[in-house]
Amino acid sequence: MKTPAQDPVFSAGLSQKAKSNLTKLAAWTSDHNTPFLITSIGMIVMLLWAGSYKMTAPGAEGIVPLVSNSPLVWWHFKLFGPYIGSDIIGLTEITAAILLISGYFRPKAGIIGGLFASVIFFTQALWS
């Protein structure tokens, strides 16, 4: 098995050794983990947007029929009411986004944020 120093695919700085501009661009994106950054930033923006929208009156009223018929969280609005229940869902989404942002500096926080986001997406998939 080759070590990262012996394998040119896994070596850092591959973008410096490439000959064509397209190869240099592909190596640079690989060196800087660009696909992961773009994907995670997109997820963070979506979670912040959806979480903040659920804290508005139209957002809370819009998810009432979805949450009321959900097999996992139908009890949520019966216990808290539509506005507080929607605020709790929104805060959960914003918390997941903040944890994902902190994951750039503290990887364990990012893992927890990713798990939160996965549970949120799974639960919301059951709403519709």
Same domain, 4 and 51: no
Same domain, 42 and 89: yes
Mean pLDDT (the chain, rounded)? 84
pLDDT digits (tens, 9 = 90+) for 51-78: 999 999 999 999 888 888 888 888 888 8
Size (the chain), residues:
128
Residue, of 4 and 67, whose pLDDT is higher: 67
* Range of the structural domain that residue 67 is part of: 34-127
Do 28 and 42 share a domain, yes or no? no
Give dist(CA 37, CA 101) in Å, integer.
11
Domain check: are 48 and 76 in the same one?
A: yes
How many domains is the chain partitioned into structurally? Answer: 2
The reported pLDDT for the residue numbered 127 is 65
Amino acid sitting at position 35: P
Look up the pTM and report it.
0.74
